[in-house]
Amino acid sequence: MSDVEQTAKEQLIAKAYNYWRSKGSTMTVVRKIICEIALEGKDSYDAETLLSRVRQVDRQISLSTVYRTLSNLVEANVLREFQGPADKKHYTVIHSEVDGRSHVVCQDCNQIFPLEDPCLALREGALARQQGFSTKNISLRMEASCDQLHEKGDCNRKQSSDN
C-alpha cells in the first residue's frame, strides 16, 4: 500500500471513529480490525468475504458483528453498499464526497468489475443541479454478459476470487 493510500485509509478510519463518537460509542478493538480490513483493498466484497478476512486476525468475530459494522460504515459515508450478483449486498470504499463509482456485474461468472469514471459524478451531478438537487451519492450498476466468453468460449477476465 502506498503512502497516499495509507493516508486515505487512516482518514477513513478517523471518519468512522468520529461517527461512532458522535453516536456515543467507541472504536472497539473488533471495530478497528473490521475497519482496517474493510478499507484495505480496491475490490468490492460481501459480508461473508469480509468475515473470512477478519477471522484471519480474530477467529471470534461473528457475522452479525461484521454486518453491524458494515452498516455503521455505510452510515458514516466510509463505505458504499450496492447490489452485487443475485442481489447480494456488496461494499466498496468511498474515495471522495461524491464518488462516481460504477460496477458491471457479469451474469456469466458473477464477478464484479469496477468502472471508475470521474466524469460520471460531473455529468450526473450537473443534471441533478439543473433539477434543483445537491448530489450526495452516485452509483450505477450494470448487469452484462461477457462478449469474449460467448464469442470464444473463454474469458481472460474470469478468475477464481472470493467475491
Binding site feature residues for Zn(2+) = 106, 109, 146
**Positive or negative, the Cα torsion across 108, 110, 116, 119?**
positive
Burial of 8 (0-12, 13-18, 19+ CB in 10 A): middle
Instruction: Check: CB of residue 140 under 8 Å from CB of residue 118.
Output: no
Binding residues: 106, 109, 146
Query: Among residues 119, 108, 94, 100, which one has the least CA distance to residue 148?
Result: 108
- What is the CB neighbour count within 10 angstroms for residue 135? 16
98-111 b/e (C-beta count within 10 Å ≥ 16 → b)? bbbbbbbbbeebeb
Task: Give the helix, strand, coil percentages of the chain, each rounded to 5.
Answer: 45, 20, 35
